[in-house]
Structure 1
Amino acid sequence: MMNLPEPVALIESLARADWGMVIVSTGGGSEAISHLLSAGGASRVVLEAIVPYATQAVDRLLGGPQEVYCSSRTARRLAIVGWQRACLLGTPAPQAVGVAVTAALRSQQPKRGPHRIFVAVQTLTATSVVTLCLEKDARSRPEEERLAAALLLQRIAVECLGNPAQAFDRPLLTGEHVQVERQNAPQAWQELLAGVRLGVGIETSGHGALAGVTGEHSLAEQHAPSAQQGLVAPGQLIFPGAFDPLHAGHRRMAEIAERILSQQVAYELSIVNVDKPLLDYCEMRTRAAQFTDRTLWLTSAASFLEKTALFPDSTFVMGSDTYTRLLELKYYGGSVEAATQAVRQIAEKARRIILFDRARDTACKNLARIDVPQQLQAITTAIPVEDFQSDISSTQLRR
């Protein structure tokens, strides 16, 4: 069985670089944690290690069920949770690192799919994730565990100490190879993730969405430092959402809203979510790449009230499912008083809400059915079901 790298030297190097690390392991690779902690002084670097082995534990950590538990996306989500926890434990954002491994390895019950390992590393400057698919039943469980641990330790060394392009140097079988995905973050994205910037506006130049997001010449970024002044001039048409993915229903909503106001819509995507982890840089890039002909604002406005502050006196496009969430007490700490005050402030700050129905919802059919406060009804224009009805679900499209 292969040997793991000497832990003392790795810990000493990480400590000299002032890294503060949180490691999350599910499904495999946890041997790397005990290996690192066997070195004296490991507590200078490893702030916390989390092993959420049951799916319920992963769900709790990530704010809900995952579509695929052993995947690049889940590994990246776990890594950014680790990064957030490192920051909460007192590490400055530039020195914080979240590392996560999620694996499907050999077990007593044969796996239906391939044996695979995903390792993600999140720092302030980049998101990286590697994928390694293993030849099925070619190794014992301990051998696969050791390989997962070796890959995790190698990714820590590469992302925190070395060249990100450095190859995995452990012996692999024919047909096995490590796939690397890495997204370096522009300075503005780093400031957004660190919470020192409120928003970043992205416009494409018509050369394609991917170039618009990553290209040096086709990316126009707008910055605004003041929450009091907002990100843009008052009177915008803003369509907030997760857009995971952007689909035909979203485009139809934007088209109708633009026709009503004779004004071009700008999309808004918050990297902060009330219920879920921050968006990592790979996720930000993927979602931003969908917007080929309209401005997209990446913001840190998790709540709708925060959005009305960033986009003052603006009209907002909204689906009925989102609209009903404005009234859910769980988003206000269970406080009726806080919810009432938030709704009042929304009604004061937003010029208008254009509300669209989905086939299974009833918000547009009868606003009174969901007990909408009068001041919110006063700024809401409900689009009749016969003009727009969509039962398209982003969740269904991802499956």
Structure 2
Amino acid sequence: MSVPGASNTLLEAVVPYSSVSMVQLLGRVPSQHCSQAMAKEMALLAYNRALKLSKPVILIGAPDWSNSGGVLGYPVLGVGFTGSLATSRPKRGDHRFFLSMRASDRIWESSVTLTKNLRSREEEDKVSSCALIQAMAKACQVSGSLDSGLTESEVPYESETQFSEEQEIEQLINGQLCCKIYSFSGEAYGTDGDRKIILPGSFNPLHDGHLKLLEVAMSACGGGGYPCFEISAINADKPPLSVTQIKDRVKQFEAVGKTVIVSNQPYFYKKAELFPGSSFVIGADTAARLVNPKYYEGSYKRMSEILGDCKRTGCTFLVGGRNVNGVFKVLEDLDIPEEIIDMFISIPADKFRMDISSTEIRKNQGVVTS
């Protein structure tokens, strides 16, 4: 962090040093604080956090981490480190440390047992820190070496496990990963690049109406932000999508050169937590459901609390007109609570109106789907 420009690389550092801090990080009481399994779990938590924090930029000459999962094309790495080093009292067990690094498609693991009574606590700290930096550099394909100070007998045990795309998607469906990003656009967008303009949907199939709506939404935002589509692998009312279904739907976006996020969050308040500060592009029919207490256990108070939480994340909703029960409706036709009305921005009908639906396309194609 003492290097100028470090914020271009380092997203966040968390030191869960006390037992209570570790419990809060994991959400449970660990059976063992110092182990390879613990470092691996911490790395996965860090990776998911990195997905939420990384910036939507296009990197030229970056490490070749294909579909590396970084939000909108930014490759990210989650690092977990835990150790049992020299302390104020003699230790019966080994002095050792474990580290793990998680990228979208692979995980690197390493462990070192230090020679007892060879170094002071400060020296052990320095050795383990150097080993950690060297491992991160190697994972990022940074050339050069750093002398960690390990002796010939202190040989690191290292392993690397690579995941197939199918395994990554399975991890997402199972809740291990919060999202996977497929950045097919290769384009740079306005100065407000950190903000994402997201059009969620099932895209079964993707059609011109989806593409046009996101294009108009970008114009409504003054051209700022990064446009992308989002598919939830988890549906609130139906079984999760299969790996094959997800891959097939993603291929549609590759064909048109658009970025798509696959998440495991079916609810907008969870999407808002995952992508804070984003603008979600929705139809008037979806907006009507968002403000209907029926979908909040019949509680207007519950609805206000949840949408209020969305508002505090900085999220907004860009609302396009849609046919609702045979009647074309826009935002102005809906009864939006006053306390959250500033979250909703209308896309005028003269800017976008396309009476087309994926359901009708499937019917015309004779496709049966669930």
Question: Which bracket does the TM-score occupy, shorter chain normalised?
Answer: 0.3 to 0.5
Normalising by structure 2, we get a TM-score of 0.47
